[in-house]
Amino acid sequence: MSIKIGINENVKINAIEINAKGTLEIELIDANEVKKSLFDASLTAATNKEGITRRLLFFLPNVAKDKDGAEAKTQEKKLQLISADFQRLIKQLTQIASQWLTTENIALDTIENQWAGTGVVDGPTFEERGLMEAVVKQRYDNIVKRFVDIMTKNGLVPSPEPIRFKLIRQAADKAFPTVPGSYLDEQPFIELMTIPKAQSRVKFSAYELTAGLDSDAPMAKDKSEKKSSSTGTTKETSEANPFA
Amino acid sequence: MLDFLSKITVDDTVDKKPRSGGGKRKQVTPEGLAIRIFRDGSLYPSQELIAKFSLEYSAKDTEVVGFGFDVVDTDLFPKFGTPQRLVIISPVSKSAPKVDLFGTTNYITDPEEGVVGSPTASVATQGSKTFGADSLIPLLEEVYGLKFYKPATETEAEVEGADFYDLSLVANPSTDQPWSFSVAHVPKKVSRGKDKGSVTTIRRENVSFYVLYPATKPDTAENDADQKEEVTTEKSEVTA
């Protein structure tokens, strides 16, 4: 089974790490497969199954830049945009961890866990410093490092049990599997396989179906105006083609 | 895994015959950690249960809200590993969504009726019927073979059975503690809307489950003859 756009059943989180560029990576694997070492995989190169793993990247949110010719965004607007990006990141990671951990033990959004070392302690300091590159980077590092910490220290990597994981198309013109980023409370993207299919809440929303976000099929250009709900936060890297 | 259930000892001295409180008033309060369910679906917790799980209703808008219960069919909840189907029950804050038992009440709004904001009923005597009638009785009948009396109607014959059962909360006898989960996705039936009747899940944290087990068993053929005269007399006195 290859991990792709759709509702992937019986997968596991095989690895969670912060890569050399400081970006959080989560590797999914087909729970029925055993990942071989690179050397072992070389000995069966001709018959290795492709797509049994999928690497998901959770990028550092970018401070919105003014485009040439476009109306300059206000400070307030930029703060709103960066806040929305971080909220999406925190909700995505919290939803993953919440399959096994309580809210109290996750706590990615507390002031101690999120804003440590940034100099941001309240609203005024957020407005003053919230768009600084170093602050954005530190905030991101705090969140992802805590996520890696709580998942690994609680024995959740690799996943102790199989999960159901929804990946959607990144955009109409980008058939990359990506993690949903909107309405996650109402439309979760992950749950344990111990929840029977009949009770599953991991489903494609009406919007996602209408926009074709449930499919990796080539889409007509006239749909390129539609946007995915998680643009810019994740990027697919297939193990079969790491340079994709 | 639950072979211990054969060793469960419940208070078998409870009279197997339905009781009447005299006249038309139901005797609603069971003993021990128990819930009494009548054939009309009304449910009454014991005083011990009320105290142990803070089931009593508080004044409106108070910070201390108390607890109700989730009720679960283990057939819908594979995470609770059991070799035989059971009904399990878990205390949950009344402020949580989709609380099955003792979750909600009405409040006094007219000063002439009492202190505004006070609950209109005590959890001990509220006797809500909806969940009991619609969900719990069918579940108990299916899982434990309980038989509730049903009077004859125009279309259906009379069904012999009990006017009520007492249901005990049973912890793990190996530990005297309930079975606990840090995180559990509890199955819930959708009660409204286009998906009514389907089963969804709701996430709960730090949940503890007890087995909800009948303290009295369905009347058997061996004791039917002894109880028949008394049951017939008492049925006429019990108000549904």
Q: How far is B182 from chain A (nearest CA, A)?
A: 6
Distance CA A82, CA A62 (A): 7
Please, which residues bridge with residue A219 across strands? none
Tokens of B50: 């009320």
Q: How many angstroms from the chain centroid is the CA of residue A109? A: 16
Nearest to A199 among B182, B183, B187 (CB): B187
Nearest chain B Cα distance for residue A192, angstroms? 9
Residue numbers of A between 191 and 210 with CB closer than 8 Å to B: 191-192, 194-196, 198-199, 201
Decide if pLDDT at B219 tops 50. no
What is the structure's pLDDT at B26? 64
Q: Which of B201, B202, B207, B208 should be substituted to probe chain A, the one whose Cβ sees the most A Cβ atoms within 10 Å? A: B201
Report DSSP letters for B29-67, one per residue.
--SSSEEEEETTS-EEE-HHHHHHHT-SPPPTT-S---E
Instruction: Output phi, psi for A149, to 5 deg.
Output: -65, -50
CA quadruple A193, A194, A200, A202: dihedral positive or negative? negative
Which residues, at least 6 apart from A88, have a Cβ–Cβ distance to it below 8 Å?
A181, A182, A230, A233
Residue B228 has pLDDT above 70, yes or no: no
Residue A98, both tokens: 């919440």
Q: Is B116 on the interface with A (CB under 8 A)?
A: no
**Residues A220 and A204 sit within 8 Å (Cβ to Cβ):** no
Q: What is the pLDDT of residues A10-41, one digit of tens each?
A: 999 999 999 999 999 999 998 877 667 778 87
pLDDT tens-digit profile of B185-202?
999 988 788 888 889 999
Stretch (H or E) spanning B137: helix B137-144
Exposure of A6 in the CB half-sphere (CA atoms within 13 A) = 11
Compute the distance between CA of residue B240 and CA of residue B153 in angstroms, rounded to an integer: 15
Residue A144: other Cβ atoms inside 10 A: 22
User: Is the reported ipTM for this assembly greater than 0.85?
Assistant: no
CA distance to partner chain A, nearest, from residue B117 (Å):
32
- Taking an 8 Å cut-off on Cβ atoms, the answer to whether B78 and A194 are in contact is yes
Q: What is the DSSP letter of B154?
A: S
pLDDT tens, position by position, A91-137: 999 999 999 999 999 999 999 999 999 999 999 999 999 999 999 99
What does A200-213 look like in DSSP terms, one character per residue? ------HHHHHTTT
Give yes or no for residue A186 having a pLDDT over 80: yes
**How far is B133 from B43, CA to CA, in rounded Å?**
9
Amino acid at A156: L
